[in-house]
Structures are given as structure tokens and as C-alpha cells.
Amino acid sequence: MKRFITLAIVLLALGCMQKQPDGTYRVTNDTSDAAKKAHENAAKSGDQIKKATDDLGKSDAVQKMKNGSVELGRGVKEGLGQVAQKAGEGLQKAGKKAEDDVKKTETTQTVTTQTVTTQTTRH
């Protein structure tokens, strides 16, 4: 396979060369013309693709998808806001309850101390 590819390249190179009157071989301009033509075709294709994507971007379906994604984003933000509010309310209630529990235990806590004295007598 490698030999075949190498042979094909050599044959193509020889096919593009022309013998000059002074006995030397030079590559003809066909390759440079082909390269220019390929470059022009690529540029045209690029322009066509750009135009097609611009047209597609302006289509109704794409606009509806864009608007739908914006609306979805708004809905997600709104939902997250509601969840955050609920969580905040829950945390406030828990904090208030903890404060109340601490206040109740401070006022109702009494300390009772009992002292016992023992005497021992020897006989």
C-alpha cells in the first residue's frame, strides 16, 4: 500500500512537469491554478454556509426555541427563589424556637444544694 501511494505521488509529480527547451523539467502552472480555484470554491462554500446559518438563525423555529429557553430560565430562577424563601422561613422558625428553648431553660432552672455532715464517735 505504501509503495502504491509513493508510486502514485511520483507519477503525479512527473505528469505535472514539462520539459523545457533548455532540457530542464519544470512544474506547469496547472497546480497553482487548481489551488487558486480550490481556494475560491472553499471561500464560496464558506460564504454559502454562513448565509445558510444566518438564515436558519432568523427562522421562526429557532426564535421560538430561543424564547422558550429564556422562559425556561426565568421559571428556574423563580422556582429557586421560592425554594430559598421557604428555606429561609424554616431557618427563621428553627432559630426562634432555639432561642425560646434557651430562654425557658434559663428561667426555670433552679439549683438545689444539700450539705450533709457526718460525725463519727469512737468507743
pLDDT per residue as tens digits for the range 87-121: 888 888 888 888 888 777 665 555 566 666 666 77
Kindly report, residue by residue over 51-69, the tens digit of the pLDDT.
Answer: 888 887 777 777 788 788 8
Does residue 110 belong to any structural domain of this protein?
Answer: no
Does residue 105 belong to any structural domain of this protein?
Answer: no
For the whole model, what pTM was predicted? 0.31
Q: Phi then psi for 80, rounded to 5 degrees?
A: -65, -35
Other beta carbons within 10 angstroms of residue 16's beta carbon come to 15
Cell of 81: 427563589
Kindly report, residue by residue over 7-21, the tens digit of the pLDDT.
Answer: 777 777 666 666 677
How far apart are alpha carbons 25 and 18 in whole angstroms? 5
The whole domain housing 82 covers 2-97
How far apart are alpha carbons 1 and 6 in whole angstroms? 9
Is the pLDDT at 39 greater than 80, yes or no?
yes
Distance of alpha carbon 26 from its chain centroid, rounded?
53
Domain count, the chain: 1
Is the pLDDT at 1 greater than 70, yes or no?
yes
